[in-house]
Structure 1
Amino acid sequence: MKWTHSRLFLAIVALIGIVTFANLLQSFYRPYLPTITSLSTTNRSDVHENISHEDSASRISSGQGVKNKNLDICENPYLQPGYVWYSNTTEETNTTWVPFYPSLLDESYSSTTLETTGEPVDPYTSDGDPYFPTEQPPQELLDVSPHPWMQDIVRHYKLYNSSLALKQGGSSSRSREVLEREELENRLHWLRNRRILIVSDSVDRYQSEYICNRLGLELINSNKGRQTASWCHIPMWNLTLMNWHIASVSPTKPAWWWIQSMQIVNVEERWTEYYLPTLNDTIGMNGKSPDLILFHTGLWDHTYFIRAPEAIGGKASWARSLNWRELRFYMQRVRMVITMLREQFGDDVPIMCRSVTLKKSLPSNVSILNLDRAARFVCNELDIEIMEFGEIIRGYFEFYKDMVHIDRGPLSVLWANMVFWYLFRTQGGVEVRGDLIEMPSNGTEIVNVAKEWNTCHGDFMNAKRY
C-alpha cells in the first residue's frame, strides 16, 4: 500500500514538472509563433485581443512589406498624418487620403526623392532650381490608402446603367464591364438597408446631396424646409443618409437672428417639430437606431456668439476669441444634444463628432477653432470618436463654393469615403492599410453595430494625434 501511494505521489510530481516545463517552452517561443492572417472564420473580438500592438515600424521591418495583413486591425488611416491627393481641382475619380505610415522614408520609396531637370521651370527661374513635375504618389502609397468606397459606388452606378442599355439593345454578351459590375456588387453588398443619421448643418447636407447627384438622384427636403430635415435615399441599395439640420445650440431664437424665415432655432423644439416626423426613415434594421450617427455643430454657434452683443447695442467682433462663459455654455448644450441622441437611440449607438470646417474669412476662424476644441473635449468626455474631416481639409479654400460651404469635387469625395469607411466598420468590415481583409457576411442580415464598433473603439479613442 505504501508503494502504491509512493508511485502515485511520484506520478503527480512528474505531471506537474511536465506542465511547468511546457509552459516555460511556450513562453519562450510565443514571440516566434505566426500571427493571425485571416479573420474570415474567427471572432473579431478574440482576434483583436490576440493581435500584437507592437510598434508598426518593427513589424514592417520584418521584411513583409507595408501592405501586410498581420498588422493591427485597429489602425485608422484617417487618424494618421497624410495628405489629400487629387489630380486637379475638378477631378473626382483620382481623389484619396494618402496616410503616412512608418517606413515611409525607407528605400522602397526612393521614387519620392528629389529629381532635378537640366532646364529651369520657366525663363524667370535661375538655372539649377529643382523641378517637381505633377504626378501621382508612388503605387506603394496608393496601395495602403483607405478604400475608395465612393468611387466604387459611382462606378457601379455607371456600369449598372450601361448594362440596362445593353439589355435593351438585345445583346446577351457578358462583357468585361458586366463582370466588373458583378464584382462591385459583391464588394458593396453590405450597403443594403443601412441608415446614416447626420445631425449637422448645411455643410454636411451638401455632401449628402453630392452623393445623390453623382448617382442621378436628388436630395429630398422636408415640406417644412431644407433647413429642417432632408435625406438622400439610394433605392438600389435601400441606403439612406438622413440629415437633421441643427441651427446652433441656442435655447432660444434671439431677436437679432439673421434668418427670420427660420421659425424654430432651439434644438428641443426642432427635435419634436422637424426630426421626429422622419424617425421611421432613420431607424436601421435593428429596429431602434441608425447604423451610424455623425454629429456636428459649430458654424451657426459661431455667429450666435459673435453677434450676441448686438442685443445690447454692441458691435460684432468677428476676429475675437470666445470667453470662458461662452465656451462653457456651448459645451453644456453640445453635451445635452448628444445625450438626447443617446436617449432616443440607445447608449450603444455608434456616434462620431465631425471636426469643424473653417470659413474662408481667416480672422473669424479664431473663435471657430475655440468651438472645435471645446466640442472635442465634450466628445472625448462622452467617449465619442472624432471624424477628422475638418482637420484634414483645413485651408483647402479653393474647393469652397462660397464663404462657408465645400463644393462638389475632391473634398466631397473624401467626405463620402470617410463616412462609408466608418459605416463599413459598423457592419463588421475590417480594412488594414487598404486591404479589405474581412467583409461583412451578408448585406441583408441584422448586424450588432455596437459590438462591431466597440471592437476597435478603445484603440481609436486613444490613437496618437499628430
Structure 2
Amino acid sequence: MPLVLPMVRLKRFFLPILISALLVAVIFGSGRRLRSLSSNTIAHDNGNSTLQTVQTTISGLFPWSFSADRDDDEMALDEPNGMPSFVSSKIKSDGSLDLSEIPPHCRDPYRVPGYLYVPENKHYLHTQWIPFLDTNFLDVPDPKSAEYPTDVIPFFTDAPPPDTFIERSPHNWFAELYNYRNILKHADEAANGKREKLSLSDSQQRLFRRLNWIHNRRVLVLGDSVDRIMIQFFCEDYESHAHFTQGSFGGQHTTYNCHIPSVNLTISHWHVASLYPMRPSWWWLDHIRLVAFEDRFEKLFKPVWDKVIGMNGQTPDLIIFQSGLWDERAFRESSRNFKYPEDEKLSKEQLEKKMSERRKSGLGKEGRQLAWDELVFFKSRMAKFMRYLREKFGAQTPMLYRSLTTRRDSNVADLATINMDRISRLIAQREGVEIFEWARLTSGFSDQYMDYLHVGRGPLSATWGNMMLYYLFRASGGINFNGTIERYPDFSGNYLVEGKGAINVPVFNVKENPDVSVNNFWAECHAYNVFWGGR
C-alpha cells in the first residue's frame, strides 16, 4: 500500500493536467489535426491507459466518427434525408459546408455572410442584401486610412456601396415585380379606354422577359402573426388586399390569403397555434378551438386546400414554415395553470396569490431557457411537424424552415426562442429541409419593428419579400447567380396582347405541357443547401 498510494495520487494529480493540455492542443492546435492527435498519439503510447482515457474523453466531446478513408477536414455525419454522401460529408462541425464543393450557381446568397444595405434617400424597395462571397468583398483593396503607421485620423463618409456590388447581389425581384405590375396595370387601363396605349421600351420588354415566370404561382406560409404581417405588407405594396378565409375557427388565427390579380400570384398563411398535441383547458384564447397541427390540418386547412395548389396541379410551388413564439407562451401557461392536488384546498384568493407567484418564478416566469423536458418535447413535436408536412405535400415540394425572430429589444426573454430555433435548425438538416434565414438578416434592426414583437413595413419587410421571391424563382426552375440570371423558368403564357392596351409587346414561345418545374428543379441545388448553419 505505501508504494501504491503515491502512484494513485500522482495519477490523480497529473491526469487532469494531461487531459487539459491535450484538449488545449485540440482546440488551439498548432496545425495538427484532431484525428492525428487522437489516433497517432495513442499508437505511440504502447497501451498507456491514461491516454486511452483521453481518447475516450475527446471522442465524447466531439460526437463525430472519424474515418480513415476521408481527408483530415472531413467528418462522417449522419446523412440528412435526401442528401447524397458526397455532400453530407462536407458538413463541418459549425454546421456549414465547404463552399469550394458547392457549384457556384447552387450557393445560397442569403446563407453566407453579407451586408444589408438600406438606402437613405430611396424607397425601401431598393433595400439590398449584399453577400460578401459572391461580390468578392474580401478582395477590396485596403484603404489608405487602414495603413500603419500613420498620424492621420481616419475619416469616413456615408457613401453607398459601389454599383458593382449591387449588380452582383441577388436580383431585386421585389422592386422588379412592382414595376412589372405597374406596366400590366397601365396596359389594362388602356385596354378599357382609361389611358393611352403603352408603348413598351426595350428595358420594359426585358422586364417582361424576366418576370413572365411569376404568373399563377402559389406560396404557402405556416407560422404566426410575424409571417402573416409580412404577407399583409407584401400584398399592400402591390395595391392588393389580403383577407381571412376561415374566421369562424378563430378570427385572425386561422387562414389568410394575399392575392395579386395582375399576375395571379397567391400567398397563403396558415396559422400554427404552437406544437401542443391538444387544446388544454387553460388555453389563453377562447376563440381558438383547435391547437394541434394535426387537428388544424384536418378541420381548418383542408377546406382551403385548393387555394394553395401551384403550377404542378398538386402542391404549392413553395412552402415556408416555423413554430416558436406560441410554443414559448404555451410552456409558460402550462406551468402557471397546472392543477396540483393541493390547489383544490385553496380559497380563490389563495389560488390567485399562488398563480401570481408562479408567474414570477420557476417554469411560469418569462425570460428563461426551456427546461430540458420542454426541449425534448419541442424536439419531438417539431420533428413530427416537418415529417407531417412532407407526408401531406410530398418529398419533392420545395420547403424552408423560417428561422425565428427575436423581440425588438432582444434580452433574456428570447432565450426560449433561441433554444427552439437551434433545435429546429438541426432537425431541418436531418429532415432535408433548407432554412429561410430572414431572422439573421434582420437581427439588430430594432428601429424597424412596429411593436415589441413584430417587424414593421420597410427595409426588413422588403427583404422578406425579396427572399421569398428568390426561392420561388429557384423553385420554378430559375437560376440567379452573381447578379445575373443564368436560367429562366419555363414560359407559362403570354399575359399581354399586342395592340390591346400596349404595343411592342414581346411574344414568348409557350410550352405545350403545363409547367411542372416545382418537381424538377429544386433538387438540383437542394442537397448543397441542407445545413443547419449554427447560431
Smaller-chain TM-score bracket: 0.7 to 0.9
Q: How does 1:48-447 map to 2 (within 5 A)?
A: 72-88=104-120, 91-101=123-133, 103-107=136-140, 114=145, 130-164=154-188, 168=193, 171-172=196-197, 174=199, 176=201, 179-224=202-247, 225-312=251-338, 313=355, 314-315=358-359, 316-361=364-409, 362-444=411-493, 445-447=514-516
In structure 2, relative to structure 1, the CA distance for the partners of 1:174 and 1:462 (3 Å cut) is: same
Residues paired across the two proteins, number: 389
Contact 2:132-2:138 at 8 Å conserved across structures = no
1:280-332 CA-to-partner distances (Å, cap 9, x unmatched) read 11112322211111111111111111332211342232221112211111111
In structure 2, relative to structure 1, the CA distance for the partners of 1:447 and 1:175 (3 Å cut) is: closer
CA drift at 1:345: 1.6
CA drift at 1:376: 0.7
Which amino acid is the alignment partner of residue 79 of structure 1? R
Which amino acid is the alignment partner of residue 80 of structure 1? V
Counterpart residue number, 1:456:
525
Contact 1:80-1:465 at 8 Å conserved across structures = no
- Distance in 1 between residues matched to 2:293 and 2:534, nearest whole Å: 32
Which amino acid is the alignment partner of residue 96 of structure 1? Q
CA drift at 1:463: 8.8
CA drift at 1:258: 2.5
Which amino acid is the alignment partner of residue 327 of structure 2? D
- Distance in 2 between residues matched to 1:403 and 1:170, nearest whole Å: 45
User: Residue 184 of structure 1 aligns to a residue in which SS?
Assistant: helix
- Distance in 2 between residues matched to 1:188 and 1:72, nearest whole Å: 23
CA drift at 1:175: 6.1
CA drift at 1:105: 3.2
In structure 2, relative to structure 1, the CA distance for the partners of 1:258 and 1:360 (3 Å cut) is: farther
In structure 2, relative to structure 1, the CA distance for the partners of 1:98 and 1:310 (3 Å cut) is: same
Contact 1:200-1:245 at 8 Å conserved across structures = yes
Contact 1:89-1:409 at 8 Å conserved across structures = no
In structure 2, relative to structure 1, the CA distance for the partners of 1:114 and 1:419 (3 Å cut) is: farther
Contact 2:429-2:532 at 8 Å conserved across structures = no
- Distance in 2 between residues matched to 1:408 and 1:365, nearest whole Å: 22
User: Residue 73 of structure 1 aligns to a residue in which SS?
Assistant: helix
CA drift at 1:164: 4.9
CA drift at 1:367: 1.2
Which amino acid is the alignment partner of residue 137 of structure 2? L
Among all aligned residue pairs of Structure 1 and Structure 2, give the percentage whose two residues are the same amino acid: 31
1:152-197 CA-to-partner distances (Å, cap 9, x unmatched) read 0111223333445566466446264xx5443322211111221111
TM-score, scaled relative to structure 1: 0.77
Contact 2:435-2:532 at 8 Å conserved across structures = no
In structure 2, relative to structure 1, the CA distance for the partners of 1:175 and 1:339 (3 Å cut) is: closer
Most deviating of 190-199 and 129-138: 129-138
Contact 1:195-1:239 at 8 Å conserved across structures = yes
- Distance in 2 between residues matched to 1:216 and 1:419, nearest whole Å: 18
In structure 2, relative to structure 1, the CA distance for the partners of 1:174 and 1:146 (3 Å cut) is: same
Which amino acid is the alignment partner of residue 229 of structure 1? T
CA drift at 1:216: 0.9
Contact 1:319-1:366 at 8 Å conserved across structures = yes
Contact 1:79-1:465 at 8 Å conserved across structures = no
User: Residue 304 of structure 2 aligns to a residue in which SS?
Assistant: helix
User: Residue 244 of structure 1 aligns to a residue in which SS?
Assistant: strand
- Distance in 1 between residues matched to 2:533 and 2:434, nearest whole Å: 13
1:4-33 CA-to-partner distances (Å, cap 9, x unmatched) read xxxxxxxxxxxxxxxxxxxxxxxxxxxxxx
Contact 1:89-1:410 at 8 Å conserved across structures = no
Which amino acid is the alignment partner of residue 133 of structure 2? Y
In structure 2, relative to structure 1, the CA distance for the partners of 1:104 and 1:144 (3 Å cut) is: same
In structure 2, relative to structure 1, the CA distance for the partners of 1:113 and 1:461 (3 Å cut) is: farther
Contact 2:404-2:421 at 8 Å conserved across structures = yes
Most deviating of 252-261 and 380-389: 252-261
- Distance in 2 between residues matched to 1:293 and 1:113, nearest whole Å: 48
- Distance in 2 between residues matched to 1:206 and 1:463, nearest whole Å: 26
Most deviating of 352-361 and 406-415: 352-361
Which amino acid is the alignment partner of residue 329 of structure 1? F
- Distance in 2 between residues matched to 1:198 and 1:173, nearest whole Å: 36
- Distance in 2 between residues matched to 1:353 and 1:89, nearest whole Å: 33
1:22-71 CA-to-partner distances (Å, cap 9, x unmatched) read xxxxxxxxxxxxxxxxxxxxxxxxxx9xxxxx9989x9xxxxxxxxxx97
- Distance in 2 between residues matched to 1:229 and 1:96, nearest whole Å: 30
In structure 2, relative to structure 1, the CA distance for the partners of 1:132 and 1:166 (3 Å cut) is: farther
Which amino acid is the alignment partner of residue 213 of structure 2? W
CA drift at 1:410: 0.5
Q: RMSD of the alignment, in Å?
A: 2.9
Contact 1:115-1:132 at 8 Å conserved across structures = no
- Distance in 2 between residues matched to 1:78 and 1:287, nearest whole Å: 29
1:102-151 CA-to-partner distances (Å, cap 9, x unmatched) read 742325x56x77599xxxxxxxxxx9754422221122211211001011
- Distance in 1 between residues matched to 2:146 and 2:478, nearest whole Å: 40
Gaps of 5+ in 2: 1-86, 88-96, 339-354, 494-513
Which amino acid is the alignment partner of residue 278 of structure 1? V
Counterpart residue number, 1:38:
none
Contact 1:248-1:301 at 8 Å conserved across structures = yes
Counterpart residue number, 2:82:
none
Contact 2:184-2:262 at 8 Å conserved across structures = no
- Distance in 1 between residues matched to 2:293 and 2:195, nearest whole Å: 55
